[in-house]
Amino acid sequence: MLQEIEDISSSVIGCDLFFDPKISKEYSRMVKANATALPFPEHFSDATIALDLLEHLENDFLGLKELKRITKPGGYLIVNVPSFSFLFSDWDQAVGHKRRYNKKQLKALTEAIGLEIVFMRYVNSLPFLPIFLYRQMRFRVGLGKGERLEDKLPSHWLNQLLLKAFIAQGKKGSISLPFGVSLFAVLKKPEN
């Protein structure tokens, strides 16, 4: 992600709780940091991006509040989270998710912190039905017991199709469906 953003901006800093230059790819602008106590001053960032982060935090309120703190007034926060608690599965547990969100929950969290919603919609709608059915079958009849489909990488062509669908659906003006595996939001920190 950092490499892709660096292509469009020269001043990008990435944060990861588990970053270790000895075992991770070394980036000159990468720091080890906890999302609820970032090592940046107030009003540091023009745009703050948190992709698939909030669901990992014990306290998502403190995490989003910290992201707001480091964002400049009038700046943007870009957030992506997994959606719908009924999709919560052993895969979510394995990757450390504490929760999944719906629009109402993310909107309430956003408003409680004092951020404006510029754009919010469900994305990753294409795989929603197959994922829902697969997880229901695993839960109800033990389909794929011991081995999760989510642990396997999709084929290159399927991965490219899903990437294009995600990008297309995340654009303003595209079709907004009332479901998706993820929830994507662009938030704005008020000027004052």
Between 92 and 7, the more confident residue is 92
pLDDT tens digits along 1-50:
777 777 666 688 888 888 887 777 666 778 899 999 999 999 999 999 99
167-185 pLDDT per residue, tens:
777 676 777 889 999 999 9
Whether the pTM exceeds 0.75: the reply is: yes
N residues, the chain: 192
What is the rounded CA–CA span in Å between residue 99 and residue 58?
Answer: 9
How far apart CA 105 and CA 103 sit, in angstroms, is: 6
Domain ranges of the chain: 1-33, 47-188
Helices 103-113 and 60-70: crossing angle, nearest 10°? 50
**How far apart (Å, rounded) are the C-alpha atoms in residues 119 and 66?**
20
